[in-house]
Amino acid sequence: MENLNNGANELFICKARWLTILGFPVLLWLYSGRVSPELLFVSVIFIIYNYFLSSYQKKFSLSRYSLFLSIIDSLYLIYIFTLTFNESGGLPQVFYFLILVMGIRHGMSKYPLIVLINILLYLCTSVVGSVYRKITLSPELLLIQIIFIAAFGILSSFIFKRTYQQHLEKEALITELQSAYQQLCIYNAQVEELANTDPLTGLYNYRFFTQRLDREIDLSKRFNRPLSLIIIDIDHFKDFNDTYGHPSGDIALKEVTLIFKNNIRDKDVLCRYGGEEFLILLPSTGIEEAYTCAERIRISVEQHCINMPDTSDSVSITISGGVACYPIDANNGEQLLRIADEVLYTAKHKGRNKIHRRR
C-alpha cells in the first residue's frame, strides 16, 4: 500500500507526542510522589523538539527524515519504558504507541517489519533492563507481552489498511463523480448548442435569436445606445428549388451564409429565421450604418455566382432586406422584428433585390 506519511499525519503525531511528553511526568509524580531530574531534563528536550516539529513541519519535508524521527521516538519511548521497568515488566503499552507512530509514518507495506522491530525492541530492552536492575523476569510474562504486542500490531494493521482502502474508494468515487459531472456539462453544452443552432448553415436559430434580442434590448435601454435589425429574404427561392432542386438550394443557403458572415462584425448576431429568411442583429448600430451594411451584403450576393452540382452552370441570386432600429422605429424587441418584417415586404413589393427602411 501507499505510504501514508504526509504533513498532516506528522502534525497528528506531534500532537499525540505532546500527550506523552507532558502526561507521563505528571502521572509518574502522582503515582510515586517524585520525578527524577533526568526525566525532567529529557522532557524539556522533547518539548523543544516537539515544538520545533509542530511549528516548522509545513516548511520542511519531514518525510525525508522519517527514519531519523522514528529512531528519536524509539529512544524516547524506550527510556520511558526503562523508568517503569520492574518485576512485572513495566509499561509495554509504549510499544503500542510506537507501532502506531511508525505505521503512520512509514506506511502499511512495512507494517509487518515495524511490528517485528518493536517486538525485538521490547525483548532486548526487557533483557537489558532485567540484567541492569538485577530483576528476574518470568519467561511466560515476556511471551505474553510479545503475543499482545504482535496481536496489537496485526489488529491495528487491519484497521489502518481498511481505513486506507475506504479512503481510496472515496477518492475513486469522487473522481468518477467529477468525471460524470464534466461529461454531463459537455453533454448539456452540446444539447444547448444543438437546440440553438441551425443544422444546415450552422447559424443560430430563431430560438436563440429571441433570447439574444431580449438581452440586447435590455442593454440598449441601460446604456442608451441604438440596436438595429436586418431581416433578409432570398428572392424567388422557391422557384430556385423547383428549377435546380433542393440540394442546389442547400448549397445556395450555405454560400449566402458565408457572404453574410464576411460582411458583418464579430459582435453582430447572424441567425436563420427559417427557410430562406435570415436575421442580423447589430448592437450599438444606428439605422444609417445598418442600412449601409445591408446594402453591402445585397451587392455581394448579387455579384456572387453559385456553381450548380454535376453541371458547369453557375447561377446568381438576389436578396431583399428590411432594416429597423431601436428606439427610433420600435419600443421593444417584438415591435422591432415586426417593423423590420414590414419594410422587408415593402422592398419585395417594390421589385425585390432592394434594401428598404422605414425612414
Residues with a catalytic annotation lie at 276
Q: How far apart are CA 274 and CA 268, in angstroms?
A: 19
Q: How far apart are CA 96 and CA 76, in angstroms?
A: 14
Strand order in the sheet with 269-274: 269-274, 277-283, 227-234, 319-326, 355-357
Q: Which of 352, 314, 350 is nearest to 235 (CA)?
A: 352
Angle between helices 66-83 and 111-132 in degrees, nearest 10: 40
Q: How far apart are CA 152 and CA 154, in angstroms?
A: 6
Q: How far apart are CA 46 and CA 39, in angstroms?
A: 10
| C-alpha pair distances (Å), 113 with each of 151, 234, 259 | 14, 84, 77
